[in-house]
Structure 1
């Protein structure tokens, strides 16, 4: 009986140990932190040596579970980081794409040339001190308006540009940008540039900018497909930006401010005549009515270029005569005009692509050198007013000279001669004896 009870108890103990093993194997594993709190001495052991189960046996499984969780979280973090990097890269690529499209749509290099002429006009129209904040605002407004005009030009000529080898890779013909997108861009920068000029410069400058935008986009652009006179209209468009800069600085349009616009007008004709001669086939394919297409021999094209180069010759003298620059600019401008006229004469005598390209390169060199000379040799307001003050001073002296009043403070040499002669009064000097040479002292007379 006792043996039976003993065997029964051993069987029960064996059953419990087997049940606990199966329970440990099938039940969810305890938390990692709970296992760390237990000591190995308290680990339960079964009465059977073969079925010994320790908590430490479950430890590696728990640790592996934590490692899997850590690796999963690391994978999630890395995937999130990778996705964020991809998103940042996509945003950067998108910004780069649109930036390049806007750059090409605005013809940025041509717009920067327009800004350079406007900035030069601003400096020439300023007084002795230049308002650099106003200069920056004027240049920024001019840049935006020029970008708007060039963008609208490409919107209207998208079909023509697609036919020309030189322009078929622009954003609109190539499909990199849609026409509504380009119109939105052009309208935005055009309005912003005009508003900036109106707020930071004056309404005259803003009006000139808006007028030039309209003239370029809505008159010159469609006229390119109608009549060859478009080149002369385009020359007017190019002559307005320096006048805009002058008006932004001085608040008015004066005769002195016409030197640089006149130079730009005459300069553009040989420049574009050379370009039209070199790209005749492209312009014909695009459907543009350029002057060179109606001139098979190129003689009339070369004649127009040479004539307008010769018109550049007197501009340096006029700038000096009107008190805008010093006499050195007169010499430099004349030599520069003779140089570009020489290339135009060469093109007139031998109408080839080589001579046309030489004249085109000379025109690229002429404009920056001419504007640099204007800035280097320009006279300030005080220097410009000195000849005027001297002439007014001489006119004021004439009545006193005719009336015999002593003007020794104006003519110290005359005072010295009068003192040498003695007490004899000096007779009055006639106007004719002084007028041709107002800078010379009046002669002294000694009675015999």
Structure 2
């Protein structure tokens, strides 16, 4: 009997092992302590890592099966956030690449010279919308030219410490992408100038782009004359601004371009002397590399600084600016010439850097003084007209004629032929010449 009971007990144990009880599952289930009595489990299995996990239990016969499902709502919410972050990073990356390709700080200097030329060419009334459009178009064209310059000089920039971290040498952007960016900016800027300004300004912008990207850039690896070609490129933007405002090119419009041309040579000579090693590594044919002593480099810089001396007097003599600008411009030219003279007599890196910093200070002060002391057309014409009124005594017949002309519409009036047409003196292409005299 004892043997029969032992056999039945072993059979029951085997049946329990093949069909585990629900209570036995509950005791060994590794479920989190937040699920009521399941927390009193003696199992050593790791608990769930997320409190938000849901548990689904189903019973099939004597078995109970529990399945933990992941938090689908959290994943759906985090997907748009991750995509937005990727888009933001992408926009930040390409914005930084476009900024460096465009050489934005240099392009802003070009825009400043173009805007100054526009204001000088506008006379007494400034079209601010036209000024903004001219500056925007100039910025686009300058960005395109600088981008193409880097496209053509990828290998050269990769050898120079000063430029090896640019977008193209560092591989942050591809060359076809940079070409597409430059082409779009060049076309958009030229089209904006043609539509909002005039075709003369658009033609100057397009020609400057071609001259910089396809003449100056390859010439840097061929001959030292590239510095003088680059000075011509830098002198065109103020002429562009004048043409956009007035629609023509006159002798007065050459004042600021002449200042920029002569200014760029000491500026670039100082830079070329300071960066001689980089230019050698990059394979550029700069003027300073063929001048080991630096004497000719310093003499070219001093000579062009001296060319800046008469510009203030010419601006005053031509009626562009007042006499105060003549004094200020002369003092500025003497200051930059003194730094060039120090560099000529003692050709050291310190003196070259001093001349470079003086050139950086000269240009904004010169343009600012030209804008502050510029002469307006209405002031010039009023001065000439007052002098003529003092020289002539009005007669009764002339007074009657003035009353008759005032009663007629403006579009039907004819200029008086009894005295010089001083009203035309301000728009003459050569204002320093005497006003034309029309006789009866």
- 1:151-186, CA deviations, whole angstroms, 9 ceiling, x for partnerless residues? 000001111111111111111111111110000000
Report whether the alignment pairs 1:116 with 2:112: yes
Separation in 1 of the partners of 2:355 and 2:75?
A: 61
- What's the CA shift for 1:387? 4.5
Which position in structure 1 is the counterpart of 2:226? 230
Q: Deviations over 1:261-313 (max 9, x none)?
A: 11100000000000000011110111100000011110000000000001111
Three-state SS of the structure 2 residue aligned to 1:199 is helix
Q: Quick one: structure 1 residues 381 and 90, their matched pair in 2 at CA, closer, same or farther if it must change by over 3 Å?
A: same
**Residue 257 of structure 1 pairs with residue 253 of structure 2:** yes
Structural mapping, 1:171-250, within 5 Å: 171-250=167-246
- The structure where helix makes up a greater share of residues is 1
- Distance in structure 2 (CA, Å) of the matches to 1:76 and 1:393: 91
TM-aligned CA distance change 1:234 to 1:393, over 3 Å: farther
Are the equivalent residues in 2 in contact too, given 1:302–1:351 (CA < 8 A)? yes
Aligned partners of 1:324 and 1:384 also within 8 Å = no
Aligned to 2:280: 284
- Please state how far the C-alpha of 1:72 moved relative to its aligned partner: 5.9
Partner of 2:303: 307
Q: Report the secondary structure of 1:328's partner residue.
A: helix
- After TM superposition, the runs of 4+ consecutive aligned structure 1 residues lying more than 4 A away are 63-66, 390-394
Residue of 315, 328, 335 corresponding to 1:332: 328
Q: Return the offset for 1:391.
A: 6.4
Which whole-Å CA distance do the structure 2 matches of 1:393 and 1:216 have between them?
52
Unaligned runs of 5+ in 1: 1-24, 26-62, 410-448
Following superposition, the deviation at residue 81 of structure 1 comes to 1.8
Q: Cα offset for 1:84?
A: 1.0
SS of structure 2 residue aligned to 1:159: helix
1:86-125 matched pairs, under 5 angstroms = 86-125=82-121
SS in 2 for 1:270: helix
Q: 3-state DSSP class of the match of 1:303?
A: helix
Q: 2:232 and 2:280 mapped to 1: Cα distance?
A: 24
Q: CA deviation at 1:380?
A: 1.2
Aligned partner of residue 165 in structure 1, secondary structure: coil
Tell which structure's C-alpha radius of gyration is larger: 1
CA distance in 1, matches of 2:181, 2:388: 55
Question: What is the count of residue pairs matched by the alignment?
Answer: 339
Contact 2:55 2:69 in 1 (8 A): no
CA distance in 1 between counterparts of 2:76 and 2:108 reads: 43
**Aligned partners of 2:130, 2:214: CA distance in 1, in Å?**
29
2:158 alignment partner in structure 1 = 162
Q: Secondary structure at the match of 2:265?
A: helix
Compared with structure 1, are the counterparts of its residues 317 and 92 closer, same or farther at alpha carbon in structure 2 (3 Å cutoff)? same
Q: Distance in 1 between matches of 2:276 and 2:114?
A: 31
Match of 2:352 in 1: 356
Cα separation, 2, equivalents of 1:187 and 1:212: 14
Distance 1:81 1:119, change over 3 A: same
Say which of 365, 368, 374 aligns to 2:364: 368
Q: 2:294 corresponds to which residue?
A: 298
Q: Secondary structure at the match of 2:289?
A: helix
Question: Alpha-carbon deviation of 1:386?
Answer: 3.6
- Taking only aligned residues, the RMSD between alpha carbons, in angstroms, comes to 2.5
